[in-house]
């Protein structure tokens, strides 16, 4: 069985949904599983719904209507028969969203987030399922929440592998074309959970691992894995073959083409990963597999925006020692703040972090009890794998350097625009 993952860009409107059909007709779909994301920027739009639920009830209904209109506009373009079952099913799904918002009693933001945001994938795969049927591509719709079981760490759930593998083998018939959702699962009570933003790649890898798939293909709007994000760098180079190890390193540092957790399950069973263009499906793209070159022949640039650079120093000029650092990291863990770069001296400690749950202010109030705290918001972290003499200059033009750290393989630079 092959696993195909289609991201939000590949199903963002009616024309792109039609293109998914063309891709499948081009590359074949026998004995395949499609894992699909929410359409376009639906996740962002549903995050607005969650925000309004807690902070701005006056705009709540309108924010739901924005999401509803977006999807009904797509199905109206895809289906000429307005009595088609897809319209009934979409109405039922949006009625379910409204019902939850009216009856939920939980004050837990992360719990509510997962119950609402998970509908993005449910809706997109429902539309895709019915459209492929219209195209003559018979397929079975699978609810990933019945297969992928997790703990209750809402918004960043951990997979229960034993139960999940057993469920997937039961739910997926490898002789059919099946369609399921990325990014989502459910906990032991049956409530929806999510695997972290951009987690659909990880979902594809989980299904591939359980099914011992022949391969995983991630369909993107780029020709494959590039040595730099073309939104921020010119003259990018396609990496045609890279090793699991190098792909894991690139993903860990933030390469957006592959989710950081995707590679481990694939590597364990030596399942090759292909990153290909849904605009040109016959192109070779990038192959991530065993036996590929360990080191790309060009520097690889990765950028993370909206980072925080935090600097701590002791109030009495005492050294910041191992115990201090241990206590600081316990706080980072407690507040779910991801650490990307560390640099310390005798009496100071600097760290570049990602505050995706907006917990920094609570953390800061804890840190000021013991340290002098200074910080820069909205900084950018650049990571260069296999850097050369021109790498830093390419990054720093027009920017202010806040921190630089270099080891044998990797250079990391924090800048302010």
The domain boundary residue, chosen from 179, 194, 220: 220
Is 10's pLDDT higher than 80? yes
Residues 211 and 308 in one domain: no
Residue 318 lies in a domain: yes
Domain of 52, CATH number, reads 3.40.1160.10
Residues 155 and 56 in one domain: yes
Residue-wise pLDDT for 15-37, tens only, equals 999 999 999 999 999 999 999 99
Residue-wise pLDDT for 46-101, tens only, equals 999 999 999 999 999 999 999 999 999 999 999 999 999 999 999 999 999 999 99
**pLDDT value at residue 258:** 80
Residue 208 lies in a domain: yes
Domain of 393, CATH number, reads 3.30.2130.10
Average pLDDT over residues 141-159: 97
Cβ atoms 265, 209 nearer than 8 A: yes
**pLDDT value at residue 276:** 95
Phi/psi at 79 (nearest 5 deg)? Answer: -120, 120
Residue 251 lies in a domain: no
Alpha carbons 148 and 203: distance in angstroms, whole number: 8
What 3-state class would DSSP assign to 121?
Answer: helix
**pLDDT value at residue 176:** 82
Residues 195 and 312 in one domain: no
The domain boundary residue, chosen from 203, 220, 237: 220
**pLDDT value at residue 250:** 87
Residue 281 lies in a domain: no
Question: 267 CB contacts (<8 Å, ≥6 apart)?
Answer: 244, 248, 290
Average pLDDT over residues 405-411: 92
Cβ atoms 262, 251 nearer than 8 A: yes
Number of domains in the chain: 2
- Of 37-41, 117-121, 152-156, 193-197, minimum mean pLDDT range: 193-197
Residues 82 and 197 in one domain: yes
Which structure tokens are listed for 59? 């705009």
List binding-site positions: 5-8, 43, 121, 231
Residue 46 lies in a domain: yes
Residues 189 and 305 in one domain: no
Give 408: exposed, middle or buried? Use CB within 10 Å, 0-12, 13-18, 19+.
Answer: exposed
The alpha carbon dihedral of 398, 399, 405, 409 has a sign of negative
Residue-wise pLDDT for 357-404, tens only, equals 899 999 999 999 999 999 999 999 999 999 998 899 889 989 999 999
List binding-site positions for substrate: 43, 121
Residues 134 and 24 in one domain: yes
Residues 84 and 216 in one domain: yes
Residues 10 and 132 in one domain: yes
Boundaries of domain holding 407: 300-416
Which structure tokens are listed for 253? 């540092």
Cβ atoms 153, 188 nearer than 8 A: no
Residues 320 and 207 in one domain: no
The domain boundary residue, chosen from 220, 248, 279: 220
Neighbours of 56 (CB within 10 A): 12
**pLDDT value at residue 294:** 61
Q: What is the mean pLDDT of the chain?
A: 94
Residue 317 lies in a domain: yes
The H helix count followed by the E strand count for the chain is 13, 16
Is 113's pLDDT higher than 70? yes
Residue-wise pLDDT for 153-190, tens only, equals 999 999 999 999 999 999 997 778 999 999 999 999 99
Cβ atoms 149, 195 nearer than 8 A: no
List binding-site positions for ATP: 5-8, 231
Beta strands in 173-322 (DSSP E): 178-181, 184-186, 192-194, 215-220, 241-242, 273-277, 286-288, 300-314
Residue 210 lies in a domain: yes
Is 229's pLDDT higher than 90? no
**pLDDT value at residue 320:** 86
Residue 384 lies in a domain: yes
Residues 29 and 178 in one domain: yes
Q: Comparing C-alpha atoms, which of 285, 266, 279, 292 is closest to residue 3?
A: 266
Q: How many CA atoms lie within 13 A of 394 on its CB side?
A: 21
**pLDDT value at residue 362:** 96
């Amino acid at each position: 069985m092959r696993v195909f993952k289609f991201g939000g860009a590949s199903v963002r409107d009616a024309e792109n949904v039609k293109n998914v059909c063309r891709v499948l007709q081009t590359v074949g779909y026998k004995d395949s599983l499609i894992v699909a994301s929410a359409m376009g920027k639906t996740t962002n739009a549903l995050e607005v719904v969650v925000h309004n639920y807690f902070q701005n009830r006056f705009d709540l209904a309108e924010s739901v209507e924005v999401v509803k209109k977006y999807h009904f506009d797509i199905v109206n373009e895809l289906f000429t028969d307005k009595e088609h079952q897809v319209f009934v099913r979409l109405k039922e799904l949006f009625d379910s969203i409204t019902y939850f918002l009216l009856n939920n009693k939980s004050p837990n933001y992360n719990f509510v987030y997962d119950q609402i945001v998970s509908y993005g994938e449910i809706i997109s795969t429902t539309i895709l399922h019915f459209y492929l049927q219209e195209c003559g591509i018979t397929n079975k719709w699978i609810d990933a929440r019945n297969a992928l079981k997790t703990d209750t760490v809402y918004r960043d759930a951990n997979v229960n592998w034993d139960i999940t593998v057993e469920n997937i083998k039961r739910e997926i018939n490898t002789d059919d074309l099946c369609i399921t959702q990325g990014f989502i699962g459910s906990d032991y009570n049956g409530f929806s959970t999510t695997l972290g933003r951009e987690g659909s790649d990880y979902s594809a890898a989980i299904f591939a691992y359980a099914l011992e798939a022949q391969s995983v293909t991630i369909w993107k709007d780029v020709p494959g894995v590039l040595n730099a994000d073309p939104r921020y760098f010119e003259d990018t180079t396609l990496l045609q073959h890279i090793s699991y190890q190098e792909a894991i390193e690139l993903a860990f540092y933030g390469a957006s083409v592959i989710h950081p957790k995707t590679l481990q399950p694939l590597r364990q069973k030596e399942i090759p990963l292909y990153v290909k263009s849904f605009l040109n499906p016959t192109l070779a793209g990038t192959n991530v597999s065993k036996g590929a070159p360990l080191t790309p022949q060009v520097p690889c640039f990765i950028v993370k925006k909206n980072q925080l650079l935090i600097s701590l120093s002791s109030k009495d000029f005492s050294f910041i020692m191992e115990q201090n650092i241990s206590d600081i990291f316990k706080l980072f863990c407690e507040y779910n703040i991801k650490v990307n770069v560390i640099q310390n001296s005798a009496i100071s400690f600097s760290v570049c972090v990602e505050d995706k749950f907006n917990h920094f202010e609570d953390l800061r109030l804890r840190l000021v009890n013991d340290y002098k705290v200074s910080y820069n918001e909205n900084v950018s972290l650049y990571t260069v794998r296999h850097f050369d003499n021109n790498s830093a200059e390419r990054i720093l033009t027009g920017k202010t350097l806040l921190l630089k750290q270099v080891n044998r393989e990797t250079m990391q630079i924090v800048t302010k625009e």
